[in-house]
Structures are given as C-alpha cells and as structure tokens.
A and B are shown apart, each in its own frame.
Chain A
Amino acid sequence: MDRKNVTPQDNNSYGREFHFFEGQTARILVEFLEVAINCIVFLKGFYPAGAFERRRYMNVVVQKARHPQLDNYIHSATSELLPFIQKGLIERVAVIFYDKDHIPVERFVFKLVISQPYSSTVEENDLQFALRAFLLKLTVSKPLTKSLPPGSSWEITAYFRALPDENNDTKVQMWVPTDTKQWLQPPCIIPIKSMSSEPLKVQLYIEHPSPTELKDQNR
C-alpha cells in the first residue's frame, strides 16, 4: 500500500510513455473491479453459492470465488486492465451475461471517465469510501436484475478507446478482440451507483434489452 508513485514494475513495462492516470488510484480501481465483478457473478447466482466465500473488503462483506479457475479468470482479466487504465484507454468494462444463443441478456457496465493529466490528489480513503458505496449498493441490487435463462454464459468485456498496440506489449494478447452481438434497439438502463471525483469518475449501471427488442426476438 505504497501511495507514493507507480510501482517499479509498471515503470519497466510501460516506462517512457506518458501516464495519464498513475499510481495508487489505478490500482485501487482495478482491485475494486475485481471485487465488484466477483460480487456481480455471485449476485446473478451463476454458480452455486457454495462456490463463493465471504470476505471483507473495505470493511464491506463481499463474496469471492473459491474456485481457482474462476478466481483466476476474474483476477487476471482485471489486473491485465491496469496498464490500459493507467493510459486512460479503457472506456467501459462490462460483465455480459448471454443466453444459450450467445445473445446478451444483461450487461453490468462500469463506465470509467479518467481525467487528463492529474496528479492523483484524491485521498485513498476517500476513493475507497466512494467505491465502497458501489459494493454496498451491489449487494442489494438483486431485484434489479433479471433471472438468467438456462444455458447461459458470461464474460468480461472491456471497451477500449483505441486498440492497443500489440507489438509492444505481450500482455495485450490476454485481451482478444471480440465481436459481441449487439442489441438492435437501444437498451434500457438502470443506474446502480455513480461516483464522481477527480481524476476518476465511475458509474455502474445495468443494461437490459429494450422491451421491443424482446418482442422482435420472440417473433
């Protein structure tokens, strides 16, 4: 929990580049994303409740996946985001639940707005406090979500502002370009929590297909 600056490792791999969003804030955000995604997956009841264990994060009770593969997937996905978040490349991180035809049924979207060069003035405690509110809200958001159809699947998708340069980074390969099916109609949005501070703004909201969309599909 060194709050002074970028860790040496970060400096080595992405050293010379200009970091829009450095240091502690980015790491807290990534950590938060990992926890939040765990919570979302638990919330959706995608896996049996036994696959999760209760943990304490930022003094909130959260659920964490016990299965090593699942835990690893979430952990690696989020931690690989760190360099891109630091560069301000990530626009949204979405947890998408699909039905058996791989058509999205529900999307949990974290919309990130990271301000231009800004020494991270935000106090770690303040940031944690703000992010904590997300987790609190998430734990009670079950009624807002839809029940999953059988045969569903889920994945983590990140929306990049620009495609990362693959030659430079070996880690980029962890993230593969996808061509997820989109809804034809603009979705319905249910906001869950928003936080705005400098230099970081986070919003979490759920997207559902619009009612007309469903009708179209049924036909």
Chain B
Amino acid sequence: MRSSSSSSASSFSAKRRKPNPKTSFQRSSFTDFGSYMAEKNRKLRSQFEEEASSSSILNCEASSSGKGKGIFHGVSIFVDGHTVPSSQELRVYMLRHGGRLENYFSRSRVSHIICSNLPDSKMRNFSRGLPVLRPAWVVDSVAANKLLNWSPYQIVEQSSEIYKQTKLSAFLRCKNISSIKDAEVSSDPNDEVDPEYLEKSEGTPLPLESKVFDQPIQVNDEFGLEKGAQFTTLLGEGTEVEASNATSTQLSIHLSSRIDDVSVDAVSSEEPTNPKCLQASDVHHSTLTDPDFVENYFKHSRLHFIGTWRNRYRRRFCNTLERNCSKDNASSISTNKSYIIHIDMDCFFVSVILRKYPELIDKPVAVCHSNNSKGTAEISSANYPARGYGIRAGMFVRDAKNCCPNLFVFPYDFIAYEEVADQFHSILHKHCNNVQALSCDEAFLDITECDYDDPENFASMIRKEIVETTQCTASAGIAGNLLIARLATKIAKPNGQCFIPPEKVEHFLDDLPITTLPGVGHALGDKLEIRKIRTCRQLRLVPKEALHKDFGVKVGDMLWKYCRGIDDRKVEVLKETKSIGAEVNWGVRFRNTMDCEHFLDNLSKEVASRLRECGVVARTVNLKVKKRRKGAKEPAKFMGCGDCENLSRSMTLPVATDDATLIRRIAKQIFSSYHLDAKEVRGVGLQMSRLETLDVNKQGHKHNVIESWLMIPAKVGEVTFRPESRRVVAESLCSSEEKLPGMQRHGPLHENSQLYFDRAAAGTETLYINLVDSRSSENAVSKLPPVSHLDMSVIKDLPAEIISEMNVAYNGKLYDLMKKHDEDQKNNGILLITPPKVIGGKKLEPDATNTSGRSSCELIKPKKAEAFEMMLHQVEKPEVSCSNLNILQMKSTTCTDPLDWASGHSSKAVLLAQNISDDTNLDKSVSRQGVLCHSASVAGDSLWNIPKDIESGVSEKFKNNLWSGSPPKWVEKFEVSNYLILNLIAQLYTKFGAVGLLSPTLQSLISLYPFILGSNGDEPDEPRLYLCELLLQYINHKIDSDIEELYLCCRLLERLTAISNFFSEVYSAFLSRLQVSVSENYGGTLQLTGCGD
C-alpha cells in the first residue's frame, strides 16, 4: 500500500506536466531533471528579456514606430546547428527587434526553426509543422524592417511522397499567414507573467480554466484519432517544462493549439514552390542525367496525377463515403425507376487552365508538358475550338502546331486541378449520397433515392453550381443505367445535358457506332468490322451464343448486353483497388546494370510509398520491362519507348509487404532473371498486386494486444474507482479551485499558484490513498475471492472435503450460499446444462450486489461498465475538468492489488477445472469450463476496453522482451491471464520448458488440449492474439540460433490446428512470419511439405 501511494505521488507530479502517459511513464524518475530544465529555461528567458529591454535599438524603434513592438514580435526562433550568421548574431537580431530565441527546443514556444539544413529525421520528427527556415529570413526581415513572408526561405526537404500528398490535400485548407499572425499577436504568448493577461483571467477565472482544460480531456478520450494524438504530443511538449505553475500551463496549452493552426498553414504554404519545378521540367530528361528521375517523372506526369487522384479523393471524402456505404447496404433493394446521371467536366485539363486566361476561351488551347513547337510531347487535352482544328489528345505538339499554328499550349497546373476536382466532387457529394467517382473530373450519381422529381432539373442545377464554383463547365447524361448515361454525356458535350428515358434507349442505340460503346476498343472494333458489324442494331442481330463463341463468354456477354442498352452495374461508391504500381516508359535509358539497379531502387521506393499511402500491403510483385525490339530504330517521340517487346514476370511473397527494400530485392531478382542488356531497356513497370488491407485498427490491435494486456494491472485500478468517490474528490478539488483566483490576486503569482496546486494535489492524494486503502485492505486480508464470486455450479462438484475446507475458510458462508443457490435454481428452473452465459450472469449478479463487491470481478457486469463510462463523461465536463484530469492520471498507477487478486481468482478457477477433469467427470466438466471460459472472457473483454493512451505508453517498454528473463516474462503474464488456454500454456511451459524451448510445451499441449479444453472452437480473439504475439517474438528470439526448434514448433502447431480451430490462425501467422524470417536470415525457406523424395 505504501508503495502504491508513493508511486501515485511521483506520477502525479510527472503527469500533470505531460498528459501523454508514455512519456510520463518514462520521465517519472526524472522529475528533478524536468524541474531543473524548467528553471533553467525560465532563467534564460528572463535574462533574454532583460537584455532586450536594455537594448537601445528596440527602444528608439519603439519610439519612432510608436507600436512599441519590434518586427519580430511574437516570433520565437530556435537555431539548429551551424548557421551564417551565427546563432549569437541571430540572437542579437531577435533581441533588438522584439523576437525571442529559445535555447532549447520546445514545440510550444518555438514558432520558427532556423538552420542551414536539417536532416530528414529531424525534419520529420521534431520540426513537424513548424516552419524550417534559412537564417536569411531573419537577416532580410531586419533589412526590410518588416516581417517577411517566410515561405520563400523554407528549407525544402527531400520529403517522401506521402508528405507531398498531404500537402496537396491540405491545399484547400490554406489560410493566409497574416490571419495566423494576428492570432499570434492577440493571444500574446510572450510573457506568462504579463499582468494584463492575468488581470483578464482574474475576471473570469473558471470559464478560462475550463476552456483550457477541456482540450486535454477530450484528447484523453479520443486517443485513437490522429488529431488527438497530435494534440497530445503537442500538449505534452507544451506542458513539459512549465508545469510548476498553473498559469503557465494554461498558456502553453494556448500556445500549442495555436501552433497546431500554424502547422496547417506551414504545410499549405509550401505549395507555391511546386509550380517552379513544373516549369523547369525540361531540365532533366532521362534516367541518364537525372539521379532523381523517378521522382521528377511522377511529379510531372499527368497520368500519375490522375492515377493518384483516387487516393486523395478517398481520403478527402472518406467520411461521406463510409456513411454512404452503410446506408447503401440498407436501402439498395429499391429497384423501381432509377436514374443515373453521368457528369463529366468539359476538357477538364484545359478549362481549369483557362480560368486564368478568360480571353483565350474561344481560342484553340491545348495542355501539354512542353510547348516546344517542334517537340514530340503529346497533347493531353485540347479545348473545343482546338478540336475543331483536328487536334486530338495524344497528338505530338509538332503535328498539332501544323494543324493549327496559333495553338496555345499550356503546361499542367496540378494544384489547380486538384482544387477544381475537389470542388467538383464536393458539389456532387453535397447533392447526392450515392456518388461513384470515376476520375478527377467524372462521376456517376445515382439519384434514385434523392427526392428530386425531375432528373433534368437536378442535373442542370448541379451543372450550374459547378460552373459558378469552378468556372468550368460540365456536361451531364441522364439515363436509366450507367451505360446509357455515359453515352448520353457524349452527345451532351460540350456544356450540355442529355436525357435518354428508358423508352428511347433502343432508338438511341440503333445507329450508334459500335466503337463508341465503352469496352469496345480498336482490337474488338476491328474484329467486329471484319464481320461487318458497325452499329448496335447490327450487333443485336447476332445471337448470344455466336458472340460467346467469337469473343469468349465475358466479352460476348458484354457486347450482347451493351447493344441492348442493358447494364447491371450499380453505382458503387468506391471500388477496391486491385493493384498498385508505378511504370515509367519515357526517358528510360541505361548505360549499365548499375543504372538499372539504381532506377529499380527509386521505383521500389515510389511503389512502396504508394502502398503505404493507400494503407495496403501486397504479396505479388510484378516487374514489367519494355525491351527494344531487335532492329527497332530510335523512336520518333523524343526519349520515348518506341517499338518494344514487353516482358513481364511476377513473384509472390509469403507475406504481404510495403517495405521498399524487400520490394527492391524482389524486383532486382526478377530483373536479373530476364538476362537483359541494360542498354536495351526502354521502360520499367513495377506493380504490386494481391493487396491486403493493412487495417489500421486490426493491425494496431494485433500489435498492441500483448502490451495492453500486460498493462491490465493499471487498468483495473482505474476501473475500480467508484463513481461516488470520484465525484467527492472532484468536488473537493473544484471547491478549492474556485479559491484560486483569489489567491492569484495577491503577491508573487508563481509561488502562490504553485503552492495551491501542490496543496490540491496533496489533497487528492490523501483522499485517494484512503480510498485505495479501504478497498485493498479488504482484499488483502482475505486473499480469498469473496464468497459471492464463487461459481456454485463448480463448487458443487467438488469433493465434499474440499467444500468443507472452503466453508471453513469462508467462515461458514459457503454452505449458506450453496443452499441459497440451489433454491434459486429451482425457482428459476435453470438446468445445469443451460448456456454458460445464463449461469454466469444469474449467479454472479445478485450476490455481487449484496456484498457491494469491491473486487475487480465487478467488471464483468455491464452495469459497472456503464458507470465507468458515466465517469468518463463526467470528466469531459469542463467544470470538474481540472481535478478529474488529475484523477484520470492517478488512478492508472494506484492500486494494483485488485488485479493481483483477480488473477489469483482466475488461476484458482483453473485449478478447479483441472481437478474436475482429473475426476474423469468429463461431461460435467465441459459445461463448467464453458462457464469459466465465458466469465473469464467477459472479464477479459471489459478489461480490454481500456483507454489506449496507457496502452501505448507501455507498449514500447514491453516490446520484444517477452522472452527475456528466466523464466521468460510471458510465463507470469500468461499464468495470471483470464484465459484457460494461456494459463495452460504457462503451466506446461514451467513444467517442460526448462531449457527455454517451447516445443515440449506444444507437444504436451497436443495431448492435453482435447481433455482440458474440449474442441470448442469459439475461443475469443484475445488469447489467440497473445499467443500469436508470443510466437512471433519467439521467432525473433530463436531465428539466429535455432531453426530446428522453430521448425519443430511449426510442425507441432500444424498438428494443433487439426485439434482445434483456435490454432489455425496462430499457425498461419506463425508460419508466414517464420518463412520471412528464415529467408531473411538464411536466404531460403523452410521446407514444410513432404521431405525429399
């Protein structure tokens, strides 16, 4: 008890500074260091201020400008590494012009990072969101005597594709910097002893407090969310040093939230740098000259823009999409008269550009990455006047200029495309729930469920809104299904709409050339041409069987349906991605294999980043290579691929991956298997298929389970606090809190507020200790589970001696209870073989409420879970926020006793169960086990619904060391677990695993499992995940010393799968990881099927 109270004390002081439990966990022993740093920082700042006030320049500037503030007012820089001018000189500048310089980095106080260069890792980890600028910004600002926009001074990082993408998506959220600046000034964070500020806070002390504190509490509650996580870190940083007094905590929270805004801004303001690169696109031409060819290639590729657009779209409209999905499933049955609108922007790539050049609207304009009139760059899009000259997409600029000498050619403007595409889709999503985005400028709407009477009016309304918002026109086709809607759009273009009601479909299709049908391209068109089929009417005459014979079942079906205007496809909100890859067929020239490998390097990185972007992992690697055909000349298109042979080979990995190095290795392997001359390679494509979603939740769960489970002690402590007591504490704290403003008014503020907080903290502590004491003493004394928690149905089956012994231990209560139980059963008419759930529920509840059971077994009951939730809600309320925050933090560290007790209980239960099975009373024991398993699992479930913050806090600590120690750590954890199977494994291991090997345990498990656990396959997921984690760590533990043992385990697990389903997932996870590890360490795979021949 003593220990628990002291730990709560230390963690109190640590945690109040850092709500992020992970850091607090680690830092708790450095309390002194933290306060030392806080003091040091404070001292440095006051020194700085002294110097600043004595600096004459500021004074005269202040008098001259009359503002009283230097140009750097509100700016706080942190200088990293060597700079020119040096950090000392920069400091002087900041001194003189009202800025400040932080000697130690803190995300909350630093607003700009100044350095000459910053390594990538720092860029990612520590500067996240903060602008990283060259020192020239400070110098130039001083020279200009005003705060310059810092975006041109940014140090552009060699960032990954992921980062770039977020930049693009953040584009629309762009706010101008000045508004942020204003905000900075208004919430003047410079000075925490600013009397004005305090005066203000005095007036309305409580609202202010609540405003500040409801942020961290929300964070505590929604840890899962990214935002929350970000916030916590910010908050953690922010509160780190200044925890010693209340006001500064408030301020730093203010600060951190402000910085959050700035970071959004920082990200978005990087945008303008991109167009420059775009214009300079012709600097690097081929793989020969440009080491970053791949990156640049994709940066300038329109196809890449279109290709990756879907991911951005998915991210952006993710919420709407998910909502629709659920809705979709519910109400997709209605098939009466549906209307589909196909909406398509008119020459999207051109008209977006033309927004800036309204005078060119009637002139022929095309978009292409190069405007060299002799060039062989391909026109990607042309507007209608240009199309009038016969200019088509895919034409060389040179030919286009021949057709139309006054053609205007513009480069791409991807940022504008992005913006317009987003606007376009927002409009669609606003009006219709069922939207299938086909590409950035094209979508299907299913308006069946919308309440609009007239689809035509609806379409024109949407089109009108699109024109108003984006200044680009769109055309729409309306019809009964996707096919006709799409065909209608073709007629409607440009800037029109076309409605084809179902009765007119046939007539419409009659004379439609067959090649306009989607899916009918050159090849198919030519085949039909040979058969003299040109229109849909002619095609309709061909019987289905003939089509099947000529074109195969799939294509035949498609033709048969399409020419009749039948299309069964639904408007699907999102189609699943089948493969992800990157292909470069332009500018690929290698001198030697080294070049090739370097290129594959980059390509794999690109692909890996795309995989990560989509949050998927892939199993199959496919490498396509274009090889110059023998005798083919240098292609007409500059640096094009020309006439090529296509080679394609793929390899499937045992485990899905998104790891660039692994992909690269496979790619190189495939590449070398082609035995190609590097000089002949004209194009390389790397494609990953067999995608598996890296479900964040599932993955995270899998990863954290064992850690979270190890954390249960903390959890139980948390939950066992009863709401009433909590409220008492909260109220007491609240009342003392109300006195705070009064205290603040007098004397030196720091001391007073600190004093207050210390006192408040002490108050809570003592209260808590009382609470804990009262409870844990009960548990500690008896060491027996409360009589109410005994499972009567189990007890009854025990030998009479044991029952009497137990009765003595319970002071005779047991017999009474058993009697009562019997009566209960008779009354309720519950048979012994009722489902475990009923027994567990019925049995435990009444007794538990009688004895007001304070043990952790209460957790089983949903009632208590509700109570806990209620408590959490309370915590969210701002009035009690301050004190409750502390409570939340404290309880995780206090009172581990209940858990110990609970574990004791469960292991006893296991013992009981084993006794029974030994008694060969098999039929009955099975049902007992059901009860036990069930109650254990329920308890487990509630235990696992625990806030993740604590979970993640410890995850680091317990990672990868389950097998350390002797006996290994997991044994203990498994022994106290609530799961029979885990208990069993731990027991067997202690019995057989003397030499640190797992295989004897598994072997004995094979023989014991059927007797002890039966063959019921519905074990909950948790133990399986723990077992998985254990085994995976076992692989890591043994892989370099003992593959024999791993091989053996693998075989044994395989045998276990035959006994129980429980192991089949475990086995497959183990196997796949094992193969990967073996191939990493031994360069081969274990042979597991049939040995030799």
> A residues near B, CB below 8 A?
111, 113, 143-146, 184, 186-194, 196, 201, 203, 205, 207-208, 210
Contacts and interface: CB of A to CB of B under 8 A. Distances in A.
A208 B1090 CA distance: 13
A188 B1082 CA distance: 10
B1044 interface: yes
Contacts of B1044: 191-194, 203, 205
Contact of B1086 (A146, A188, A196): A188
B1083 A143 contact: no
Nearest to A146: B1092
A186 B1092 contact: no
B1092 A189 contact: no
List the 7 shortest-distance A-B pairs measured between CB atoms, nearest first.
A188-B1087, A194-B1044, A196-B1041, A187-B1084, A191-B1044, A194-B1042, A189-B1084
19 contacts: A143-B1092, A146-B1092, A184-B669, A184-B673, A186-B1084, A187-B1085, A188-B1084, A188-B1086, A190-B1047, A190-B1092, A191-B1086, A194-B1041, A194-B1043, A196-B1042, A201-B1040, A201-B1041, A203-B1041, A203-B1043, A205-B1043
B1045 interface: yes
A189 B1085 contact: yes
A190 B1087 CA distance: 6
Interface string B1009-1052: 00000000000000000000000000000001111111100000
B1079 interface: yes
B696 interface: no
A210 B673 CA distance: 15
A113 B1043 CA distance: 13
Contacts of B1047: 190-191
Interface of B: 669, 673, 1040-1047, 1078-1079, 1082-1087, 1091-1093
A191 B1041 CA distance: 12
Given A111-B1082, A143-B1091, A189-B1085, 7 more contacts: A146-B1093, A186-B1083, A187-B1083, A189-B1087, A191-B1044, A194-B1045, A210-B1085
B1041 A186 contact: no
Given A144-B1092, A145-B1092, A186-B1079, A113 B1040 contact: yes
Among B1040, B1046, B1092, the one with the most A-chain Cβ atoms within 10 Å of its Cβ is B1092
Contacts of B1079: 186
A188 B1092 CA distance: 10
A87 B475 CA distance: 78
Contacts of B1041: 113, 194, 196, 201, 203
Nearest to A188: B1087
Contacts of B1083: 186-187
B672 to A, nearest CB: 8
A207 B1043 contact: no
A145 B1092 CA distance: 6
Contacts, number: 63
Contact of A191 (B1043, B1092, B1093): B1043
Contacts of B1091: 143-144, 190
Nearest to A192: B1044
A190 B1086 contact: yes
A181 B1044 CA distance: 27
A200 B1093 CA distance: 33
A104 to B, nearest CB: 12
Contacts of A191: 1043-1044, 1046-1047, 1086
Contacts of B673: 184
B1082 A189 contact: yes
Of the candidates A144, A145, A192, A205, the one having the most CB atoms from chain B within 10 angstroms of its own CB is A205
Contacts of B1093: 146
A41 B669 CA distance: 33
Nearest to A187: B1084
Contacts of B1078: 189
Nearest to B1042: A194
A196 B1042 CA distance: 7
Contacts of A193: 1044
A187 B1075 CA distance: 12
A196 B1038 CA distance: 10
A67 to B, nearest CB: 27
B1045 A208 contact: no
Contacts of A201: 1040-1041
A208 B1092 contact: yes
Nearest to B1043: A191
B257 to A, nearest CB: 51
Contacts of A208: 1087, 1092
Contacts of B669: 184
A189 B1042 contact: no
Contacts of B1042: 194, 196, 203
Contacts of B1086: 188-191
B892 to A, nearest CB: 39
A189 B673 CA distance: 22
Nearest to A184: B673
Contacts of A144: 1091-1092
A145 B1040 CA distance: 23
A189 B1040 contact: no
A35 B1045 CA distance: 24
B849 to A, nearest CB: 55
Of the candidates A189, A193, A201, A210, the one having the most CB atoms from chain B within 10 angstroms of its own CB is: A189
Contacts of B1082: 111, 189, 205
B1040 A207 contact: no
Contacts of A192: 1044
A191 B1038 CA distance: 13
Residue of B1041, B1084, B1085 contacting most chain A CB atoms (<10 Å)? B1084
Contacts of B1043: 189, 191, 194, 203, 205
A185 B1092 CA distance: 17
A174 B1047 CA distance: 36
B1084 A207 contact: yes
A192 B1045 CA distance: 10
A190 B1041 CA distance: 15
Contacts of B1045: 194
A153 B856 CA distance: 70
A205 B1091 CA distance: 13
Q: Which of B669, B1078, B1087 has the most CB of A within 10 A?
A: B1087
Nearest to B669: A184
Nearest to B996: A196
A132 B785 CA distance: 52
Nearest to A203: B1043
Nearest to B1047: A191
B623 to A, nearest CB: 15
A123 B1009 CA distance: 38
A201 to B, nearest CB: 5
B1040 A188 contact: no
B1039 to A, nearest CB: 11
A131 to B, nearest CB: 14
B1085 A186 contact: yes
Interface centre among A143, A144, A188, A207 (most CB of B within 10 A): A188
A50 B182 CA distance: 96
Contacts of A187: 1083-1085
A203 B1091 CA distance: 19
A111 B1044 CA distance: 12
Contacts of B1085: 186-189, 210
A187 B1083 CA distance: 7
B664 to A, nearest CB: 16
A192 B1047 CA distance: 10
A186 B1087 CA distance: 11
Nearest to A202: B1041
A156 B1087 CA distance: 23
A201 B1038 CA distance: 11
A205 B1041 CA distance: 12
B45 to A, nearest CB: 48
A101 B1085 CA distance: 25
A171 to B, nearest CB: 29
Nearest to A92: B1082
